[in-house]
Amino acid sequence: MSAHKVAVVTGAGRPGSIGWATVQRLLAGGWKVVASDVGRPLESHPDYEVAAPEDLLRLGTENPDSVLAVACDVTSESEVVALFAAAVERFGHVDALVNCAGLGIGLTPVVDLTLDDWRVNLDVMATGAFLVAREAARVMSAQGHGGRIVTISSQAGKTGMPLLTAYSAAKFAVIGLTQSMAMELGPLGITVNAICPGTIETPLLHVKGGLYEKYAASAGISVEDYQKRILKFIPLRRLGSPEDIAESAAFLLSDAASFITGEALNVTGGQEMH
Ligand SMILES: NC(=O)c1ccc[n+]([C@@H]2O[C@H](COP(=O)([O-])OP(=O)(O)OC[C@H]3O[C@@H](n4cnc5c(N)ncnc54)[C@H](O)[C@@H]3O)[C@@H](O)[C@H]2O)c1
């Protein structure tokens, strides 16, 4: 096997996001990284603010030897296949996947949740996670030297939350996907884990119609007061940073985590404990 390790990271194109921080953390650890993001507005929800394509490209141009930037909509089977083909063509092999693509659409009472909003959550965060993890598993199985797959679920993948029906359902699906893949792929030396972040200070919470805005409005208070209020539910009394999640992902990709698989690791400051 060659000296450098190669990771594919999805949902990596937005500065301040968990995917972006994960790319930076892996680069600091000497990894080569294939950074990807959707690269264009979502067909079903063109007004939702996804990562700007130029930010993703910048990751590649600023790190020409160690980053390949590839636009890939994780809901497109052909684009996901092409993503891994590009990774193998550029760096020779793939050792790890960190699945970060996600969104915050349809944050609404369940009686108002539209079928389109339900579908986009399941499409991107459950079906998309499956397509990318399946392709990683195919490539890693063929290579024959094991591998690491990590998908970002959520504390809402462990416990349901108001206004988050579709999001939570998609994140629960990620944990079933993770456990089943872990059992099948363990004998091949491929570990499969999920991370369940708590409230992490990223653009997801702030995009138009994002989580803060919705929760604050439903409580009849300002976003600032809402942010203060949620700290009471976090034993460590702070919000998480994207770097907190990037560190956990780097750990699950490291040799130190070689006996951990099928895990759904809470990184929530104690807000979620099961
Ligand atoms: N921020 C939090 O509090 C929090 C908590 C728990 C879980 N998460 C999860 O962490 C992951 C990263 O979220 P984040 O907080 O960094 O948000 P973010 O919105 O900054 O990053 C998500 C990225 O996914 C990309 N994306 C959206 N649809 C895509 C598609 N179809 N194909 C490829 N990429 C697509 C977006 O363009 C964006 O760059 C998500 O899965 C999210 O659900 C976040």
Question: 239, 263, 241: which is closest to 252 by C-alpha?
Answer: 263
E strand or H helix at 118: helix 115-121
Measured from the CA of 123, which atom of ligand 1 is nearest? 31
Cα end-to-end span (Å), the chain: 38
Distance between CA atoms of residues 258 and 191, nearest Å:
8
Q: Is 79 in contact with 236 (CB distance < 8 Å)?
A: no
pLDDT > 80? residue 199? yes
Q: Which amino acid is at 124?
A: V
Q: Which amino acid is at 272?
A: E
Confidence of residue 207 (pLDDT cuts 50, 70, 90): confident
Catalytic residues: 167, 171
pLDDT in tens, 133-147: 999 999 999 999 999
Question: Atom 19 (ligand 1): residue with closest C-alpha?
Answer: 204
**Probe ligand 1: pick from 103, 164, 208, 245, max atoms within 8 Å of CB?**
103
For tokens 């990271």, what's the residue? 9
Q: How far is CA 118 from the centre of its chain?
A: 18
3 state SS of 238? coil
pLDDT > 70? residue 197? yes
Q: Is 196 in contact with 151 (CB distance < 8 Å)?
A: no
Confidence of residue 270 (pLDDT cuts 50, 70, 90): very high
Q: For residue 187, report the distance from its CA to the centre of ligand 1, in Å.
A: 31
pLDDT > 70? residue 1? no
Q: For residue 11, report the distance from its CA to the centre of ligand 1, in Å.
A: 6
**Which residues share a beta bridge with 197?**
267
CATH class of this structure's domain 6-199+240-267 = alpha beta
Distance between CA atoms of residues 66 and 59, nearest Å:
10
Domain boundaries defined on the chain: 6-199+240-267
Cβ 126 under 6 angstroms from ligand 1: no
163-179 burial: b if 16+ Cβ within 10 Å, else e: bbbbbbbbbbbbbebbb
Burial of residue 71, with CB atoms counted within 10 A of its CB: 0-12 exposed, 13-18 middle, 19 or more buried: middle
Distance between CA atoms of residues 183 and 44, nearest Å:
34
**Probe ligand 1: pick from 25, 44, 50, max atoms within 8 Å of CB?**
50
pLDDT in tens, 104-161: 999 899 999 999 999 999 999 999 999 999 999 999 999 999 999 999 999 999 999 9
pLDDT in tens, 57-104: 999 999 999 999 999 999 999 999 999 999 999 999 999 999 999 999
Output the pLDDT for position 217.
Answer: 85
Output the pLDDT for position 2.
Answer: 60
Q: Is 94 in contact with 139 (CB distance < 8 Å)?
A: yes
Q: What is the pLDDT of the chain when averaged over all its residues?
A: 95
Cβ 23 under 6 angstroms from ligand 1: no
Angle at Cα 123 formed by Cα 122 and Cα 127, nearest 5°? 90
pLDDT in tens, 39-54: 999 999 999 999 999 9
Number of other residues whose CB lies within 10 A of the CB of residue 117: 18
pLDDT > 80? residue 209? no
Token pair belonging to 154:
């959520």
Output the pLDDT for position 195.
Answer: 99
Question: Atom 32 (ligand 1): residue with closest C-alpha?
Answer: 73
Output the pLDDT for position 48.
Answer: 92
Cβ 59 under 6 angstroms from ligand 1: no
Query: Residue 192: phi, psi to the nearest 5?
Result: -135, 115
